[in-house]
Structure 1
Amino acid sequence: MSSTVTRALSNMSSLTTLLLKSCQLYGEFPTTIFQLPNLQILSMGNNDDLTGNLPELQLGSPLKQLDLSRCHFSGMLPVSLGSVTKLTHLDLSWNQFWGQIPASLGNLSQLTVLVLGGNNFDAPTFPLTLGKLSKLNVLYLTCMKIRGEIPEFLANLTQLYVLFIDANELVGQIPSWLMNLTKLTGLDLSYNQLHGMIPSSISQLKHLEYLNFVGNNLSGKLELDIFFKLQNLILLDLSHNKLTVFTKNITNATLPKFIILGLASCNMKEFPNFLRFQDELEVFNFDNNKIHGEIPTWFWNNTKESMRGVSFRNNFLTEVSPLLSLSFHGDDSKFPSGVVDWIIILLGYGSGLIIGLVIGHTLTTRYHEWFVEKFGTRKQTQRRVQRKRRN
């Protein structure tokens, strides 16, 4: 399907749901559709050539879900957006919206999902009124040019499951109050300018599955074992900071089962022994460390069924011959979208053979999509189970 959005839809006054996501739509979206008196769900995401703007919205609008993500909408957000008080899901990410984020968004007391990342908003800080959104489960503020320290209003959002504030200009240390958001399953602070140490109290976030600190100025000695208490953790990336990471000689196999693990530029001198117990690892980045000698045979034996991307660039390796027989296979459809873009390439450096990865922030963004989709699917399953129990 590839077409414009017909204006005839504006006359369908009984319409309650309009789902046109990923339909290759183009041209200008009729603003009158936003005014339909019974419209509750409007999903137009992933139509890159669809343009338009958000008009002033009517007080008492029945709209509950609005998804304009990854389109080409522009203009300022209307103050009246804060009067659509039945909204539970608002996704305006990756458009061309500009200007200030209206403080009136703090009136959306039923909001559980707020996704604003990847726009051109002017304000480097956010309205404190967002701290009133006490029902928020998902907050996505990536690539927003947010400056200053991690906004303290986030401490009020105790129902958060997913918090992505990566690719901003955040400074300061990781605040202790962040550990009070005990329901978090996903936390991404990557590509900011945070400094100081990663607090050991991070282990209090027992439900974490996704934890990304890559590309900051975090420093100090960090015992990797603090993350081993997070039994649900499947993605951990500490790469490209100023950390000195070490781990004890782990013999206990009751560890989280990592799928994606980034330890590049972590000043590690020994190959992590805990990887003996990692047989589900699919992506492993160990670039720019200080290990010598050979990669242990047990590493290849443990991961040959699962591994899709691995990198040991800029170490002091003398032998990597097991790579020659390493196979990568399996069902890519079950793999996080974007991870298959860790393109496997063989690079010859002298007598060594090194596997490299093509990585970047685009990949991190795709991790977000995979994780949020995974989170949403799990929540739907939980609701179905709860309904069955009630019946």
Structure 2
Amino acid sequence: MLSYNNLWLLTESNTNAVIANFTNLGLASCNLSEFPHFLHNQYELRRLDLSSNNIQGPIPSWLWNISRNSLEYMNLSHNLLTGFEEASVVLQWAHLTMLDIRSNMLQGSLWSTNYFDGSISPAWRNGCNLRFINLSHNRLQGQLPRSLANCSMLEFINFGENQLNDSFPYWLGNLPQLKVLILRSNGFYGALRKVGTSKFSELQIIDLSQNKFIGHLPTAYFEIWDAMKIIDTSHMTYMGESDIYPGSFPVFAYENYDYSIIMNNKGLRLEYLKIPSTLAAIDFSCNRFEGAIPNVIGNLKALHLLNLSNNMLTGHIPSSLANMKELECLDLSSNWLSGQVPLQLSELTYLSSFNVSWNNLSGSVPQGKQFDTFDSNSYKGNSGLCGALLEIKCGKFETIPSTPSTFTDDENSGSFFKINWMIIMIGYAGGLIVGVVAGNEFTKRKHDWFVKTFGRKQLRRQRKKNIRN
């Protein structure tokens, strides 16, 4: 192993030289400017590291054919690679676990931090051993290749920030090890229906934000996402850590390769350079989901982040969200939610970011514990909310949830009003109406009803009696 020694490695070809077959070859940071020629005849490589060199130009076609039956790890990252010698690349390695080509200048159609365009090649055949795939921040188009379903060891999939156009890939739900699925900022569309046996049984992090998904939130999935229900702090590790080669010294980054993601958290785009193995998150923001937030989502007790903002959700905020004791970020802003902010949410002692702005909420805002740390921006755009934080005094009925009001003129003398948006106490004794009235709108309606029923003359008499009393 010659990596990270500030060496200059000469790779001039010599037809008389005999090079032994290597199993592990580390040539990172050796000032290489081209691919070593002796790699042509390597048939037993398991791990090859050519990262952090000055290798320029396209990746040669012969490189995809070396050590077909043995190669598990190849790292070409942090070079000056510009593309591929072949227009279409098919991965031939039966046992490949990780291919790292980030931090280059790659262009062309393949399938991060490069500029791939075109469609994703269906390169994964039966027996695919990939655990990690990250092709985010490119210009990939078309659909996800169904051959990904052959990679039964996949733990991490990130196709975020591309131009993909496909329905929800429910078929990925049969991958038994999948923990992270990032499809953010693409053109995915349609409803999130559970189809067949797809379960996503080990899924902990899913980011579908900034797409074109429609329909109701996926209750069927919330019910079976067991990995988001279990709080296990007994093994505090990071996703991607591996001990596949116990006893070996860490020459290759793969032996301790940490997964990383970028998610919207607390109003910021934060990069997790390492993902704690306990982290669980759902981001469905900036889509077209509608209907109510299902109560069953409260069973996902291990969630740290829940972002359902910028959709068309209606109904009340379910109090079952208070069951998510690990929740740190809750964003329900820019929807059509109504009713109160459940007082039970004040029991979420880890909650450090909370946003329900721009909805149709009413009543008093919760107080105490974490809610004393939030400012008025968490509630703006809800004209019915009140409380000391908003400098709006709550009336007598602020704890009553509000729904749209209805009123009819043709009521009989036995029922004065038909109001659904608040509880009104009305008594009738000796011609005296005793009422508790809230709001100018209701006062006007009461006035109009009285005039229509008894006339303006009777209204004046009633006012005089009220003054005398």
TM > 0.5:
yes
- Which of residues 44, 55, 65 in structure 1 aligns to 2:121? 55
Matching residue of 2:156: 89
Structure 1 partner of 2:286: 167
1:262 aligns with 2:378: yes
Whole-angstrom distance in 1 between the partners of 2:168 and 2:92: 21
Shift, 1:64, TM fit: 0.6
Residue 118 of structure 1 aligns with which residue? 185
Q: Which is richer in helix?
A: 1
Query: Pick from 61, 64, 82: which aligns with 1:10?
Result: 64
Aligned to 1:207: 326
Shift of 1:47: 2.0
Match of 2:243 in 1: none
Q: How many Å separate the matches in 2 of 1:215 and 1:226?
A: 22
Aligned pair in 2 of structure 1 residues 178, 248: CA closer, same or farther (>3 Å)? closer
Partner of 2:174: 107
Give 5+ residue unaligned stretches, structure 1: 273-288, 293-391
Query: What does 1:130-169 correspond to in 2, within 5 Å?
Result: 131-154=198-221, 155-160=223-228, 161-169=280-288
Secondary structure of the 1:163 match is strand
Partner letter of residue 225 of structure 2? L
For the 8 Å contact 1:166–1:189, the answer to whether it is kept is yes
Q: Is the 8 A contact 1:105 1:130 kept in 2?
A: no
What percent identity do the matched residue pairs reach? 27
- For residue 362 of structure 1, what is the aligned residue in structure 2? none
8 Å contact kept, 2:338–2:362: yes
> Aligned to 2:177, what secondary structure does the other structure show?
coil
1:16-95 → structure 2 map (5 Å cutoff): 16-18=73-75, 20=77, 32=89, 34-43=91-100, 46-47=112-113, 49-56=115-122, 57-95=124-162
Matched letter for residue 174 of structure 1: I
Deviation at 1:41, TM superposition (A): 2.2
TM-score (norm 1): 0.61
Amino acid at match of 2:203: L
Shift of 1:152: 2.2
**Whole-Å Cα distance in 1 between the matches of residues 344 and 92 of structure 2?**
52
Distance 1:101 1:95 in 2: 15
Query: Residue 345 of structure 2: which of 224, 227, 251 is its match?
Result: 227
Letter paired with 2:60: R
The correspondence of residues 234-383 of structure 1 with structure 2, limited to 5 A, is 234-247=352-365, 250=368, 262-267=378-383, 268-272=385-389
- Residues 203 and 249 (structure 1), Cα distance of their counterparts in 2 relative to 1, 3 Å cut: closer
Separation in 2, partners of 1:89, 1:29: 28
CA distance in 1: counterparts of 2:348 and 2:195, whole angstroms: 31
TM-score w.r.t. length of structure 2: 0.51
Q: Is the 8 A contact 2:192 2:217 kept in 1?
A: no
CA deviations 1:188-243 (Å, max 9, x no partner) are 111110001101221111110111101100011325x4322111111111111111
Q: In terms of Rg, which structure is larger?
A: 2
- Between the aligned partners of 2:59 and 2:376, the Cα distance in structure 1 is 44
Alpha-carbon distance between aligned partners in 1 of 2:56 and 2:357, rounded to the nearest angstrom: 44
Structure 1, residues 128-170: CA drift from partner, whole Å, max 9, x if none?
A: 2584111111111112311111012322112132111111111
| C-alpha spacing 1:125/1:5, structure 2 compared with 1 (3 Å) | farther
Deviation at 1:122, TM superposition (A): 4.7
Describe the shift of the 1:226–1:131 C-alpha distance in structure 2 as closer, same or farther (beyond 3 A).
farther
Aligned equivalents of 2:363 and 2:59: distance in 1?
Answer: 57
Secondary structure of 1:202's counterpart equals helix
Q: Distance in 1 between matches of 2:377 and 2:99?
A: 37
The 1-side partners of 2:149 and 2:362 are apart by: 46
- In 2, distance between residues paired with 1:126 and 1:29? 41
Paired letter, 1:184: L
Which secondary structure does the structure 2 equivalent of 1:167 belong to? coil
Partner residue, 1:333: none
Q: 1:199 to 1:126 in 2, by over 3 A?
A: closer
Query: Relative to structure 2, which stretch is displaced further, 120-129 or 109-118?
Result: 120-129
Displacement, 1:114?
Answer: 1.1
Query: 2:179 touches 2:203 (CA, 8 Å); kept in 1?
Result: yes
Q: Taking structure 1 as reference, are residues 55 and 29 closer, same or farther at Cα in structure 2, changes over 3 Å only?
A: farther
Tell me how far 1:81 sits from its aligned partner.
Answer: 1.1
Sort the Cα spacing of 1:254 and 1:79 in 2 relative to 1 into closer, same or farther, 3 A. Answer: closer
Does the 8 A contact of 2:168 with 2:188 survive in 1?
yes
Counterpart-to-counterpart distance in 1, 2:84 and 2:191: 29
Structure 2: gaps spanning 5 or more residues: 1-53, 103-111, 229-279, 394-469
